[in-house]
Amino acid sequence: MSFFDLSLDTANKFYSWGWRLSIVGAGITALGVLVLMWGTRIKDQDFEEQVAILHSRAATSEERAAGLEKEAAELRLGLAGSKSDRTEDRSPPGIRQITPEQRGCLLGRLGEFKSPVILRFEPDQESGEYAAALRDVFGKAGVPVTFGSALKSTFTGMRLAMAEAPGSNDQPQGAVQMSSILHYCGIPTEPPIPWQQFPRSAGASSVPATRPEEVLIFVGAKPPDR
């Protein structure tokens, strides 16, 4: 009798056990699949959390870097401003300057001043630079300016041309107004020059025969006491 020559009763028992084992195997397989899916899901969730943490840290690092860069830029700007202020404060001694306060005052006061100006200066570097600074302010304020060097003179300081008699009714109104503006803004001036003695430029042959319509301003050499 061979192994395959079984009785019907024995075959039925094998079939029953095979069926039971198949069901158990299927259950174990299903359980294994569920456990595998659960484990995979937990691993994926942990991976996503780690990635989110890394992204958050990267964003925080970028934000800190941007903040540090901004602070560095502000510091550089502050240092540049301080350096500029120190440079302005360390103007060479003995050189006349139009200060920022005087410049702002003149620009505000000259807004309605429309009389043309003839601005001449003593033929030396310091007087020319001071006159040029004054000319630039006039130009920005919209005041028409004729600018040039004068023949060497004995006048010092900045002076306006007026009539011979201080109380004369023939005083040029533009010159009177300009004198008031310069005084208000703290620009030092010396006693006025009679317009007939206003220093001529190299190309002028003589002083005008009649009172000039322009405001005549002369920047002479720096007075010894300033």
- Measured distance CA(212)–CA(197) in Å, rounded: 12
pLDDT value of position 202: 72
Decide which of 34 and 156 is more confident. Answer: 156
Q: Give the end-to-end CA distance of the chain in Å, rounded to a whole number.
A: 141
- The number of CA neighbours under 13 Å toward the Cβ of 192 is 23
What's this model's pTM, rounded to 2 decimal places? 0.57
- Measured distance CA(209)–CA(85) in Å, rounded: 48
Task: Give the rounded percent of residues in the chain with a pLDDT score beyond 70.
Answer: 76
Burial 76-111 (b: 16+ CB within 10 A, else e): eeeeeeeeeeeeeeeeeeeebebeeebbebbeebbe
What would the two tokens of residue 222 be?
């720096």
**Confidence band of 89 (pLDDT split at 50, 70, 90):** very low
pLDDT value of position 6: 60
Chain CA centroid to CA 132, Å? 25
pLDDT value of position 142: 94
- Measured distance CA(17)–CA(127) in Å, rounded: 122
CB 135 within 8 A of CB 219: no
C-alpha angle 103-109-111 in degrees, rounded to nearest 5: 105
pLDDT at 207 over 60: no
Classified as helix, coil or strand, 182 is helix
Strand spans (E) along 11-167 = 117-121, 145-149, 158-162
pLDDT at 80 over 50: yes
- Measured distance CA(205)–CA(210) in Å, rounded: 15
pLDDT value of position 84: 47
